[in-house]
């Protein structure tokens, strides 16, 4: 995924199976396992984040999402965590999904970024501890979408993804031009329990906070994707300049980070 913040194949013994497949085809044509195949499209809502100008997120070539296909009002999966990759403007999969031939209604749940370990509609997601590393910020973000009103006649299923986590943004003032901020860390809880049915991601309020190194942008601001949470009063930010000087920011009251919103801080090192 691009922000203006800005195992794939199962090998089988083909030679051993080819004769049997050919023989079966002559004896009895195989029945289709499913009906109309489905084409997916996706967009990201700028959505509930405030002041979204200059912070819009878009999918780019090579991005990967996971899709679950579930029989409506049941826990029966027709597809579980099916990997879809954006290539040439289309979401492609090694095994295309399809609507059931028996007409059963189905629901679709999708998320980004793809996690091979996600086996059901609820799973753990942990943001990177160092989001200054290449790709770590994007991999930490979490977007969810669902489509629960399909009829089985659609040519396309459209996902409208929303940001499930919060965004922390830090602006640094008061430092000399020859000694700018090099790193900023923020102490927060890093893990959430994702629930694709409800579109939520919840952190354990009893979990310990940990330092997360924020991503530095060209304009000198720092950002990190973090779970929605309330952080108790106390030490929140730690800033280190290029020369090694350290500054700390303490909050006198609990700090609230809300899903889909930006929490902005200005640290004045000149005071």
pLDDT in tens, 32-47: 444 667 999 999 986 4
Write down all domains in the chain, each with its CATH number in brackets.
34-268 (2.60.40.2620)
Distance of CA 234 to the CA centre of its chain: 29
- The answer to whether the beta carbons of residues 239 and 218 sit under 8 Å apart is no
Q: Which of 56-60, 201-205, 261-265 has the lowest mean pLDDT?
A: 56-60
Q: Quote the tokens at residue 168.
A: 């922390």
Which helix (H) or strand (E) segment holds residue 144: the answer is: strand 143-147
Distance of CA 99 to the CA centre of its chain: 26
Taking the C-alpha atoms of residue 232 and residue 250, their distance in angstroms, rounded to an integer, is 10
Q: Quote the tokens at residue 184.
A: 């900023």
User: What is the pLDDT of the chain when averaged over all its residues?
Assistant: 85
- Closest C-alpha to 99, from 3, 186, 8, 33: 33
Whether residue 181 has pLDDT greater than 80: yes
Whether residue 27 has pLDDT greater than 70: no
Q: Return the pLDDT at 1.
A: 65
Q: Return the pLDDT at 7.
A: 28
Which residue in this structure is represented by tokens 């085809």? 25
Give the pLDDT mean for 210-218.
96
Give the pLDDT mean for 21-39.
48
Whether residue 10 has pLDDT greater than 90: no
Residues sharing a CB contact under 8 Å with residue 27, sequence separation 6 or more, in sequence order: none
Q: Which of 13-17, 43-47, 130-134, 248-252 has the lowest mean pLDDT?
A: 13-17
Q: To the nearest whole percent, how much of the chain has pLDDT over 90? A: 73
Q: Which of 2-6, 66-70, 88-92, 153-157 has the lowest mean pLDDT?
A: 2-6
In degrees rounded to 5, what are phi and psi of residue 42? -145, 145
Whether residue 51 has pLDDT greater than 50: no
Residue 245: count of CB within 10 angstroms of its CB: 14
Task: Tell me the pLDDT band of 95, cut-offs 50, 70 and 90.
Answer: confident
- The answer to whether the beta carbons of residues 107 and 74 sit under 8 Å apart is no
Give the pLDDT mean for 48-62.
62
Whether residue 26 has pLDDT greater than 60: no
Q: To the nearest whole percent, how much of the chain has pLDDT over 70? A: 82
Of the CA atoms within 13 Å of residue 147, those in its CB half-sphere come to: 22
Q: What is the pLDDT of residues 132-169, one digit of tens each?
A: 999 999 999 999 999 999 999 898 999 999 999 999 99
Strand partners, 231: 255
Most confident stretch, 11-20, 92-101, 106-115: 106-115
Whether residue 19 has pLDDT greater than 70: no
Whether residue 60 has pLDDT greater than 50: yes
Q: Which of 45-49, 190-194, 198-202 has the lowest mean pLDDT?
A: 45-49
Whether residue 50 has pLDDT greater than 90: no
- The answer to whether the beta carbons of residues 233 and 251 sit under 8 Å apart is yes
Taking the C-alpha atoms of residue 154 and residue 145, their distance in angstroms, rounded to an integer, is 17
- The answer to whether the beta carbons of residues 62 and 86 sit under 8 Å apart is yes
Go through 128-142 and write b for each residue having 16 or more CB atoms within 10 A of its CB, e for each that does not.
bebbbeeebbbbbbb
Beta strand ranges found along 39-138 (DSSP E): 39-44, 57-58, 64-71, 77-87, 90-92, 106-112, 122-126
């Amino acid at each position: 995924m691009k922000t203006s913040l800005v195992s794939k194949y199962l090998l089988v013994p083909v030679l051993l199976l080819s004769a049997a497949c050919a023989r079966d085809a002559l004896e009895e044509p195989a029945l289709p396992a499913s009906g109309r195949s489905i084409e997916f499209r996706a967009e990201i809502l700028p959505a509930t984040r405030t002041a979204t100008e200059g912070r819009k997120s878009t999918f780019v070539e090579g991005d990967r999402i996971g899709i679950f296909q579930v029989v409506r009002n049941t826990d029966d999966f027709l597809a579980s965590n099916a990997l879809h990759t954006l290539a040439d403007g289309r979401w492609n999969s090694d095994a295309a999904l399809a609507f059931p031939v028996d007409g059963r209604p189905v629901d679709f749940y999708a998320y980004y970024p793809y996690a091979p370990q996600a086996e059901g509609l609820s799973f753990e997601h942990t943001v990177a501890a160092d989001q200054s590393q290449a790709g770590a910020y994007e991999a930490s973000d979490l977007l969810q979408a669902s489509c629960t009103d399909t009829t089985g006649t659609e040519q396309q299923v459209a996902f409208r993804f929303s940001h499930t986590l919060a965004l922390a943004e830090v602006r640094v003032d008061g430092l000399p031009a020859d000694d700018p901020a090099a790193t900023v860390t923020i102490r927060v809880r890093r893990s959430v329990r994702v629930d694709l049915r409800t579109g939520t991601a919840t952190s354990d309020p009893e979990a310990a906070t940990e330092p997360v190194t924020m991503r530095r942008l060209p304009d000198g601001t720092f950002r990190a994707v973090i779970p929605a949470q309330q952080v108790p009063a106390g030490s929140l930010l730690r800033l280190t300049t290029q020369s090694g000087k350290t500054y700390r920011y303490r909050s006198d009251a609990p700090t609230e980070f809300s899903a889909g919103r930006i929490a902005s801080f200005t640290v004045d090192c000149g005071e």
